[in-house]
Structure 1
Amino acid sequence: MRASRLVSLLLLLQARGRMTAQQLADELEVSLRTIYRDVESLSAAGVPVYADRGPAGGYQLLDGYRTRLTGLTAAEAESLFFAGMPGPAAELGLGTVLAAAELKLMAALPKGLAERAGRVRERFHLDVPGWFHGGEPTPYLAAVADAVWNQHRVRMLYRRWKAPTPITRTIEPLGLVLKAGNWYLIARSDGGDRTYRVDRVRELETLDEVFERPADFDLAAFWRAYLDRFQREMFSGEAVVRFSPEGMRRLLHLLTPAVIQAARENAGEPDEAGWVRTVIPIESVRHAHAELLRFGGEVEVLEPAELRECVIASARTLLDLYGG
């Protein structure tokens, strides 16, 4: 552990130049006393590190000195796929490994390129989860990822949305996908490839059995096909509605992209008051009822009659509630 920390300290000084003892301690998550001891150890080993005193001082390497201890370990090389996504990497248990890999890359780059790479990090940041939603807890994510990587079958207790809700499955995990802050496991079960939400795994046991990964399985292609099929099957009907000018402006914020596109493509000419008649796809009457109520008085449901009656009933309930 100490040898790894000494290498990290050396690479930090090589990649970033002068750093104070406090900066090094914060970066390596150790005490100031540990940094002082580590610097003395590097000096005793012949590394030309010296200290400048004063407010602008700190530790730095002798100009022109570069270590060759920049080789990536296998785990560090694998973690580079998550560069720019420290949150997901940490969820998979790769946060420390990724940080070490990035540090080695920075140390290996010529000074000019290292500075340019540093500017990219300062100016661009990827935040995966959607607004107001950090994703559900996934206590078994690291174990699932390990099973995916090592091709081990797993037995899991899974909570699904339809009855029977709790089910036990023995699966062959093929890949993980992060979508809108949620992790999805693609696995082979009962002869077919299925998708599971990792946050719905309630118990997990990694088996000793190793399975043969299908040579023709393409994770990205499978996910694209899954999304296309999900979107096609999601909508079971249509609704004819009228949107006010304000309602049309709210479309972008209140409905999904597929519904927004359909509303625009099917829109007729505005009437004298600016209201637009259009047709939108709906998942179900119940779902459409909840979604359209968010528009308040900026939308009128014309068809189907069942959906219109649901909205009217909600409006009457609100009127009664507020003493109208």
Structure 2
Amino acid sequence: MQIERLIQMIFYLIDHKQVTAKELAVYFGVSTRTIYRDVNTLTLAGIPILSTKGTGGGISLLDGYTVDRSLLTKEEQQNIYQGLQILQATKFPNSELALRKIGAVFREALQPKWLEVDFSFWGSDDSEKIKISDLQEAILNKQVIAFEYFNSELQKSERQVEPLRLVFKSHAWYIVGYCQTKREIRIFRLSRIRGMQVKEKIFDRELPKDYSLKSQQSTDHLPVLKLKFSPEAAHRLYDEFSAEQLVAQKDGSYVVEFQAELNNWMIHYLLSFGKQVEVLEPESARVALKERVLEIAGLYQKEEGVEKHE
């Protein structure tokens, strides 16, 4: 639309000071004739645009023309810009345009090059990135979403959910929504969702005002795991546990205690440390981990038996 292009052109000129008509034409995907018509329209609207011909000439705004920024401090301007950078990393709709506009308005206060945000995991491609725009559409338009979900035990189920909130918590994205299958509000981790579709079906439910994500994660009923980590595991411990949970031992090892559900996911998590971790308590966790290790060892013993037989 022309009005949107005209607004963008103003911010582009604020940011670049002086440009050629050809540069603007390429940027907006229109002809240079259209650019000159837009410049004339902006001039008639009272925007002080200068157009000079010849070598070194171009299109620019009158010196001193800008948008009033006096209501925000430089620190506040920087915080707004950083917030938009985070939104851009999530592929949030129109965030790039907003970032460009704010960057032009707050240019003097910003230092954008020090921060880069990327929520995708190492080795992922575009198909694995979070579809924030789809979820935004579903939440704002109150549309039901359908997907396959894999829980912590790797059990697959078909879900139809009324999405109520999108949450980023502890390195991961979650959907808080009313599960029509379970008939209650549930939390779904996005990385475990496959084949998500936004349906035409509309709902009118709202998230209860007294709802708290923290209240849904009570650990009162969970056992306390006591683990001993070797010094070689230190590089992971400070990434995955708080400093208060880590108790250094004289031999260089670390003891960690925390409450957690002893499920399939937790067993796999402990196994990821290999021989760098020993479960001290509870005994049920020691037994579960030992049984899983023996199962894995059994796979390789079978292979060795086949090789010897041959």
> Could you say which TM-score interval applies, normalised by the shorter chain?
0.5 to 0.7
Structure 1 pair 116–99 and aligned structure 2 pair: CA distance change class (3 A): closer
Q: Secondary structure at the match of 2:19?
A: coil
Mark the runs of 5 or more structure 2 residues left unpaired by the alignment: 69-79, 281-285, 305-310
Q: Which moved more, 1:189-198 or 1:18-27?
A: 18-27
Q: 2:157 maps to what in 1?
A: 166
Percent identity of paired positions between Structure 1 and Structure 2:
19
Q: Which moved more, 1:2-11 or 1:22-31?
A: 22-31
Aligned match for 2:271, one of 290, 297, 300: 290
Q: 1:7 maps to what in 2?
A: 7
Amino acid at match of 1:6: L
In 2, are the aligned partners of 1:158 and 1:203 still within 8 Å (CA)?
no
In 1, are the aligned partners of 2:225 and 2:279 still within 8 Å (CA)?
no
Q: 2:157 & 2:237 partners in 1: Cα distance? A: 37
1:148 matched to 2:149: no
1:200 matched to 2:194: yes
Structure 1 pair 19–235 and aligned structure 2 pair: CA distance change class (3 A): farther
1:175-186 counterparts in 2 under 5 A? 175-179=165-169, 182-186=172-176
Q: 1:72 maps to what in 2?
A: none
1:194-273 counterparts in 2 under 5 A? 194-198=186-190, 199-209=193-203, 211-214=204-207, 216-217=209-210, 222-226=212-216, 228-229=217-218, 232=219, 238=225, 241=228, 243=230, 245=231, 247=232, 249-252=234-237, 256-257=240-241, 262=245, 264-265=246-247, 267-270=248-251
TM-score when normalising by structure 1: 0.61
Structure 1 pair 154–242 and aligned structure 2 pair: CA distance change class (3 A): closer
Structure 1 pair 101–142 and aligned structure 2 pair: CA distance change class (3 A): same
Deviations 1:88-133 (A, max 9, x none): 56x3423366347637x82xxxxxxx3433x23x344240416516
Q: Secondary structure at the match of 2:273?
A: helix
Mark the runs of 5 or more structure 1 residues left unpaired by the alignment: 69-78, 107-113
Residue 197 of structure 1: CA displacement?
3.4
TM-score when normalising by structure 2: 0.63
Amino acid at match of 2:95: G
RMSD: 4.6
Q: 1:14 & 1:240 partners in 2: Cα distance? A: 58
Structure 1 pair 234–203 and aligned structure 2 pair: CA distance change class (3 A): farther
Q: Secondary structure at the match of 1:127?
A: coil
Structure 1 pair 310–241 and aligned structure 2 pair: CA distance change class (3 A): farther
Structure 1 pair 249–133 and aligned structure 2 pair: CA distance change class (3 A): same
Q: 1:28 & 1:92 partners in 2: Cα distance? A: 21
